[in-house]
């Protein structure tokens, strides 16, 4: 099991990321050129097959074991009136996940992913980032490690999602801190804020940046000061997946924001990630562009929980089915191939 002993160990892991296997990528690319279709005609399905080949280190990758984890946390900044819903919804939705009644339950069932839920100290909201760091170093490390520990042996594709009323506010703060720009570039309406709520959210992000900005010198410190428990857990899970060479389907704005500080410290971090979709949350388009990720879907979703990631699983499965099962020009006696 992957565990970061201290912030320095987390930084060291981030500085020495394993790479995809170039020989397997090349073998998959060679195979793509032989399949019975015009070169490039399966578009991004071809890229996905080559991507998966590199991480699975084989010419014809498979995805049987898909693991989805939803992390939940509560946020002190919710007291600033930055969400359209009250904070008690977080624990109520965790009960809903466990009872099987949430969108992510239906969508992981539909795509054949195994879902688990990790609730992180829901009765202890993080510090209000407009006034204090979200977490102590111990709390942040614990959240990162709970995320890392959630990755199961044998997982071939990881989906991470979140639940935490108010969490689009720390997510926007993380983006502004790690990627630059103003609070207004990164905030959106989240669960459905009105204009007054949006103004409160902008003020909260601005206050958090003014208070913590100068101290956010590393990914760890940025997550600790401006993030949240479920956000750090997602970062830990995504980094642990990389250390095990397990590809990740990224969900929406919050899941993508969780890795923004890590990507600032090491731009290669997103190499094992596919952006499942572009959320309707205002900052997500900008965030994906900054992370150099091209979303697979754009369905107007603004839910989180890992729902967009679950929707992209059939696309990955389809890409691998085409790559693995299609005949070559030679096998099918079709003229014109190479």
Q: Catalytic residues, which ones? A: 305
Q: Which residue of 76, 197, 227, 252 would you call a contact of ligand NIO, by CB under 6 A?
A: 252
Pairing relation of β-strands 114-119 and 157-163? unpaired
Site for ligand NIO in 25-64 (CB under 6 A): none
Binding flags for ligand NIO, 264-283, as an x/- string (CB under 6 A): ---------------x-x--
Secondary structure letter of residue 327 according to DSSP: P
Question: Would you count residue 304 as binding ligand RBZ (CB under 6 A)?
Answer: yes
> What is the C-alpha separation between 4 and 224, in angstroms, rounded?
15
3-state SS, 250-297, equals ECCHHHHHHCHHHHHHCHHHHHHEEECECCCCCCHHHHHHHCCCCCCE
* Diameter over CA atoms, the chain: 70
Stretch that binds ligand NIO, among 39-47, 88-96, 117-125, 296-304 (CB under 6 A): 296-304
Provide, rounded to whole angstroms, the least separation between the CB of residue 305 and ligand RBZ. Answer: 5
Q: Which residue's Cβ lies closest to ligand RBZ?
A: 190
Contact flags string 168-187 toward ligand NIO, x per CB under 6 A: x-------------------
Q: What's the min distance (Å) between Cβ of 261 and ligand NIO? A: 17
**CA dist., res. 257 & res. 38, Å (int):** 38
CA nearest 126: which of 117, 113, 136? 136
Which tokens is 110 given? 């539909």
191 is a contact residue toward ligand NIO (CB under 6 A): yes
Name the nearest CA neighbour of 151 among 35, 234, 215. Answer: 234
**Alpha-carbon distances, residue 181 vs 188, 205, 278, 283, 292 (angstroms):** 14, 12, 20, 11, 17
Does position 165 interact with ligand RBZ (CB under 6 A)? The reply is yes
For residue 254, state whether it binds ligand NIO (rule: CB under 6 A). yes
Report residue 158 as tokens: 């990881």
- Least Å from the CB of residue 171 to ligand RBZ: 8
Q: Tell me if 190 contacts ligand RBZ by CB under 6 A.
A: yes
The set of residues, in sequence order, having a beta carbon less than 8 Å from that of 193 and lying 6+ positions away, is 82, 83, 84, 201
Binding mask 135-164 for ligand RBZ (x = CB under 6 A): ---------------------------xxx
Q: Does 201 bind ligand NIO (CB under 6 A)?
A: no
**Using the rule CB under 6 A, which residue among 173, 304, 310, 320 binds ligand NIO?**
304
**CA angle, 289 then 293 then 296, to 5°:** 115
- Looking at the Cβ atoms of 81 and 112, the one nearer to ligand RBZ is 81
Contacts with ligand RBZ, residue ranges (CB under 6 A): 83-85, 89, 93, 162-169, 190-191, 303-305
Contacts with ligand NIO, residue ranges (CB under 6 A): 168, 190-191, 251-254, 279, 281, 284, 302-304
């Amino acid at each position: 099991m992957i565990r970061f002993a201290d912030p320095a160990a987390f930084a060291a892991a981030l500085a020495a990321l394993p790479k995809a296997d170039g020989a397997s990528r090349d073998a998959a690319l060679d195979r793509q050129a032989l399949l019975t279709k015009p070169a490039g005609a399966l578009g991004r399905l071809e890229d996905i097959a080559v991507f998966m080949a590199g991480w699975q280190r084989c010419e014809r990758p498979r995805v049987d074991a898909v693991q989805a984890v939803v992390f939940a946390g509560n946020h002190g900044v919710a007291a600033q009136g930055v969400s359209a819903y009250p904070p008690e919804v977080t624990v109520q939705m965790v009960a809903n996940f466990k009872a099987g009644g949430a969108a992510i339950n239906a969508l992981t069932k539909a795509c054949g992913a195994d879902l688990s839920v990790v609730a992180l100290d829901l009765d202890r909201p993080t510090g209000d980032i407009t006034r204090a760091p979200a977490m102590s170093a111990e709390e942040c490390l614990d959240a990162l490690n709970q995320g890392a520990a959630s990755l199961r042996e044998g997982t071939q594709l990881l989906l991470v999602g979140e639940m935490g009323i108010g969490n689009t506010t720390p997510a926007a703060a993380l983006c502004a801190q790690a990627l630059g720009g103003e609070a207004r570039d990164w905030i959106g309406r989240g669960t459905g804020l009105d204009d007054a709520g949006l103004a409160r959210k902008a003020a909260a992000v601005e206050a958090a940046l003014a208070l913590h900005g100068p101290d956010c010198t590393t990914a760890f410190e940025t997550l600790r000061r401006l993030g949240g428990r479920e956000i750090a857990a997602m970062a830990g899970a995504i980094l642990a997946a990389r250390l095990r060479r397990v590809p990740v389907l990224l969900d929406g704005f919050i899941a993508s924001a969780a890795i923004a500080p890590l990507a600032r410290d090491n731009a290669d971090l997103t190499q094992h990630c596919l952006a499942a979709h572009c959320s309707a949350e205002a900052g997500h388009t900008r965030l994906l562009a900054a992370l150099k990720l091209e979303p697979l879907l754009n369905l107007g979703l603004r839910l989180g929980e890992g729902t967009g990631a679950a929707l992209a699983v059939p696309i990955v499965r389809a890409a691998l089915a085409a790559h693995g099962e299609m005949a070559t020009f030679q096998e099918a006696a079709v003229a014109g191939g190479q």
